[in-house]
Structure 1
């Protein structure tokens, strides 16, 4: 199952709180089916078929295809000085 680094968890919590995600909100990762890969968006709650990954209070919702594709991955984040966030996927150790 997808895991998150502490930095990614903090980034997810910040993004959700800044975008009115609410207490049940999270970042939803959807597999677009294209070479570019995945689409991230803030969601107020998971879709019924989503897998929910919770790490230190940060919630990520994965659609069915993303759940399979990201099974052995770790979500990391790089925080810019301007407040920007850049997510990256790596292999679990």
Structure 2
């Protein structure tokens, strides 16, 4: 299962707060159409029941089933600098 760094958790929380998402809202990661290995990220108020749910200290990240398989051994990190937030994926450091 995809894991989150503290930086990613805080970044998703901040983005959800700025977007005034409800308590169940969060970041959704889905496989990009037509581009293997690329992912689309979106803030959502809720996710489909089929999505994998990662909840950490009130932060929600939803991963659609196709992306979930690709991201199973990775960790999501974030770099929030200025007005932008960049997300990166890296091998998990268990």
TM-score interval, normalised by the smaller of the two chains: over 0.9
Runs of 4+ in 1 over 6 A off after TM superposition: none
Give the CA deviation at 1:55.
1.6
Q: Which runs of 5+ in 1 are unaligned?
A: none
How far apart, in 2, do the equivalents of 1:4 and 1:79 lie? 15
Distance 2:85 2:71 in 1: 20
- The TM-score normalised by the length of structure 2 is 0.92
Structure 2's unaligned 5+ residue stretches are none
- Whether contact under 8 Å (2:13, 2:59) holds in the other structure is yes
- Which residue number in structure 2 is paired with residue 28 of structure 1? 28
TM-score w.r.t. length of structure 1: 0.92
